Structure 1
Amino acid sequence: MDQPLVSIITPSYQQDQFIQETIESLLSQDYPNLEHIVIDGGLQTHNRNFAVIQNHLVERFRWVAEKDRRQAHAINKGLAMAKGEIIGWLNSDDTYLPHAVKKAVSVLDQNPQWGMVYGKANYTDDQNHVIGPYPVEPFQLERLYETCFICQPAAFIRKEAFDKVGEIDESFHFCKDCKFENA
């Protein structure tokens, strides 16, 4: 059976100190059918990001370096470019644990009626040392109204689900990295 293409979108803005580790965590995945799309709103040809990205240019690695209207717009650009059946978004200061993509695809293959899966994750510091576990819970719609128990970088969503609901709403600026404010 052919393995579906997984598109990973990485929005980035002035993340020189983190982007290499992010890219390497994706390149170290044991899932072979990946494309990585980096949308960098702050990339200049003279900064370190440019050198890091050039070092990792491979067949399914694409990057866009141009101004954008913040993170949601960058993600929407990546979604428009994505060719994969499954979408992940990995922020430029996040990393995947080993086997993350392979496990997500396996669960989605076993559950074709599901639009997405999510897994466990850890909070890390700026050196990528684990601070503690993200409070992941089994899915309950009512509970999701109360708290964020889905760690966005650990979520994988079928492209058809994005196609049904549309783009990321660019008017929300504090909901992209689980930074929620009480209403």
Structure 2
Amino acid sequence: MISIITPVYNGERFIESCLQVVIDQKCLEVEHIIVDGGSSDKTVDIIKDKANQYPHIRWISEKDRGQSDALNKGISMAQGEIIGVLNVDDFYERNVLNRICEIFPTLAEPSLIIGNCNICNFEGELISINKAKPLRAIDLLLERRINDDGIIDASFPLNPSAYFYHKSLHQQIGLYKVEEHYAMDVDFLLRAVSSCHVKYFNETWGNYRYYPGTKTFDDSTRGTSIVRIKHLFNDYIKTLSLMEQWQIWLARNLNFILLKIFYFYKYPERLPESIRQRLTKYSRT
């Protein structure tokens, strides 16, 4: 069984369509767990109405300590051996959950599988496609996966609507960090890819809405996301062996040097005057 977990707080704008997305998957081996943080709008009324019609919908509504805490509550409720996370304003492509049911019996446990993810605006119009390969912790730690807006680029999973994993993985790496309110998925993936079997499928599974007013978008606009993620990386690096830390330091600095060489090769006129004079002198000898 697949347990889809949706954390929500005052999400009346999207909660009905989120519930309908899972209903429309027509998957017989799914439960949809809604963890509401004590909404004050019509969110709970909409959940109740749908749950009365569809027994695969399970839900709770109570105050929590944020999205990570809500996810952990959903995991403790989950009866399935496969976990998927669907944020309230994101959605799946057609027939994805049946496809996931086909794949998991062929995998070693615990496994994490990743597909492609469409990045959309508020209206669901395509902005770009996130293709998450290769997927190794070192690719993220080297920071070359972060663009100028503080968003992890197309080589790393941007949104959980495009990945699924064995629930047993949490027995190895623990739950989502309750104190992490923004980059909990990056933290989870860093720990996960180092502790389980990871497989990428060149298939589009998820759709991620990225638009003003959302926590992720506003965090990126303020420029705080890149600082937050770098702190997360540095904390994670401290848990590695000295040899692994040395490899990351070497790779980071080598990458920086190569970028500098390429830049000044392309724009030699921007070299500092003192360095240009030395190069001219050496070229004549």
Please give the range of the TM-score, normalised by the shorter of the 2 chains: 0.7 to 0.9
Aligned to 1:16: 12
Aligned residues of 1:108 and 1:114 also touching (Cα < 8 A): no
Question: How many Å separate the matches in 2 of 1:139 and 1:77?
Answer: 27
Aligned CA RMSD, in angstroms, stands at 1.9
Change (3 A) 1:30 1:60: closer
| Alignment gaps of 5+ in structure 2 | 146-151, 187-215, 217-224, 231-285
Give percent identity, aligned residues only: 29
Question: How many Å separate the matches in 2 of 1:38 and 1:8?
Answer: 8
Aligned residues of 1:35 and 1:61 also touching (Cα < 8 A): yes
Counterpart amino acid of 1:21? S
Deviations 1:71-104 (A, max 9, x none): 0000011011111100011111111111222222
| Alignment gaps of 5+ in structure 1 | none
Deviations 1:124-166 (A, max 9, x none): 2222332221242232332132334113221111011112221
Counterpart amino acid of 1:96? Y
> Moved runs in structure 1, 4+ residues, more than 6 A?
none
User: 125, 131, 139: which one pairs with 1:129?
Assistant: 125
SS in 2 for 1:76: helix
Please tell me whether residue 55 in structure 1 is matched to residue 63 in structure 2.
Answer: no
Bigger fraction of residues in helix? 2
> Which stretch of structure 1 is more off in the superposition, 97-106 or 72-81?
97-106
Aligned residues of 1:10 and 1:38 also touching (Cα < 8 A): yes
Change (3 A) 1:50 1:114: closer
Please tell me whether residue 153 in structure 1 is matched to residue 169 in structure 2.
Answer: no
Aligned residues of 2:83 and 2:165 also touching (Cα < 8 A): yes
Please tell me whether residue 181 in structure 1 is matched to residue 216 in structure 2.
Answer: no
Aligned to 2:178: 170
1:177 to partner: Cα distance: 6.1
Question: How many Å separate the matches in 1 of 2:178 and 2:80?
Answer: 22
> Quick check: which has more Rg, 1 or 2?
2
SS in 1 for 2:113: strand
Q: TM-score, normalised by structure 1?
A: 0.87
1:113 to partner: Cα distance: 4.3
SS in 2 for 1:119: strand
- Relative contact order, higher structure (CA 8 A, sep 6+): 1
Question: How many Å separate the matches in 1 of 2:45 and 2:112?
Answer: 34
1:63 to partner: Cα distance: 1.1
Please tell me whether residue 39 in structure 1 is matched to residue 35 in structure 2.
Answer: yes
Counterpart amino acid of 2:30? L
Aligned residues of 1:8 and 1:35 also touching (Cα < 8 A): yes
User: 75, 99, 104: which one pairs with 1:103?
Assistant: 99
Counterpart amino acid of 1:160? S
Change (3 A) 1:113 1:37: closer
SS in 1 for 2:34: strand
